[in-house]
Amino acid sequence: MKFCRLLVLLSLVGVASTAHAHTGFHPVQGWVSGFTHPWSGADHLLAMLGVGLWAVFATPASRQFWQLPMAFMAAMVLGGVLGAAGVALPGLELGIAASVLSLGLLVVGKVRLSSPSAALLVGLFAVFHGAAHGAEMGQGTGFLAYALGFVCATGLLNMLGIWLGQYLLPIAAAYRASGLVISGLGLVLLMQAV
C-alpha cells in the first residue's frame, strides 16, 4: 500500500510540472537558487531518481552505487560549463526528455551494462541536463555558487533514488513499476519536446 502511494506521488509530481523547466525565467543567482531548482522540474527530478534507481541494479555486486551518480554529476558540470560558455547542443530538450525515458526503461528492463558503458551513458544524459541549466545563466550570475547548489541537490536526489532502489529492488514488480512511472513521464516530456 505504501508503494502505491509513492507511485501516485511520483506521478503527481510529474504531471504537475509537465512544462519544461528550462524556460530561462527562474532565478539563477547563488547557491540557494541552484539548490532549489532541480526539485522544481520534473525532468531533472525524474532523471536523478532514475540514475539512483538504476545504480542499485547496475552495480549490486560491488555495492558501489555512487559510481553512476558521480559520473552524472561530473558530466553535468561539464555540460553546465559548455552551456554557460554559449555552446548550443542540438536537440537539447529532446535529449533531456529522452534521458528520462531511457533511465526509466533501464530500470524497467533491469538492464545491466559494464561499469564504463553505464557511466558513459549517464554521462551523455548529464551533459544535456547541465547544458540546459548552464545556458540559462547569463554572465556574472554567480555560476560557481549556482552550480555548487545544483550539484548538491543533484547528489541528494541521486541518494534518494539509491535509497528507493534499495527498498524496491527486492520487490521486482515494484522496482519495475517505479521505472515504468519514470519512463511514462519521460514519454510525456518527449512528446512535449517534439
pLDDT tens string 35-94: 998 898 899 999 999 999 999 998 866 668 889 999 999 999 999 999 989 999 999 999
Provide the sign of the torsion angle of the four alpha carbons 150, 186, 62, 120, taken in this order.
negative
Q: Which of 12-16, 71-75, 177-181 has the lowest mean pLDDT?
A: 12-16
Higher local confidence (pLDDT), 67 or 137: 67
When pLDDT is cut at 50, 70 and 90, the band that residue 142 belongs to is: confident
pLDDT at 143: 77
Distance CA 52, CA 113 (A): 15
Does the pLDDT value for residue 22 go beyond 60? no
Please list, in sequence order, all residues whose beta carbon lies within 8 angstroms of the beta carbon of residue 172, skipping any fewer than 6 positions away: none
User: In the numeric block, which cell numbers belong to residue 76?
Assistant: 553535468
pLDDT at 15: 45
In 3D, which of 24, 32, 37, 65 has the Cα closest to residue 165?
A: 65
What average pLDDT does the structure give for the chain?
85
Does the pLDDT value for residue 167 go beyond 70? yes
Q: Count CB-CB contacts under 10 A for residue 4.
A: 10
Please list, in sequence order, all residues whose beta carbon lies within 8 angstroms of the beta carbon of residue 67, skipping any fewer than 6 positions away: 55, 59, 115, 118, 119
- End-to-end Cα, the chain, rounded Å: 36
Residues 82-115 have pLDDT tens digits of 998 999 999 999 999 999 999 999 999 999 999 8
When pLDDT is cut at 50, 70 and 90, the band that residue 179 belongs to is: very high
When pLDDT is cut at 50, 70 and 90, the band that residue 138 belongs to is: low
183-187 average pLDDT score? 97
pLDDT at 19: 41
| SS3 state at 89 | coil
122-137 average pLDDT score? 91
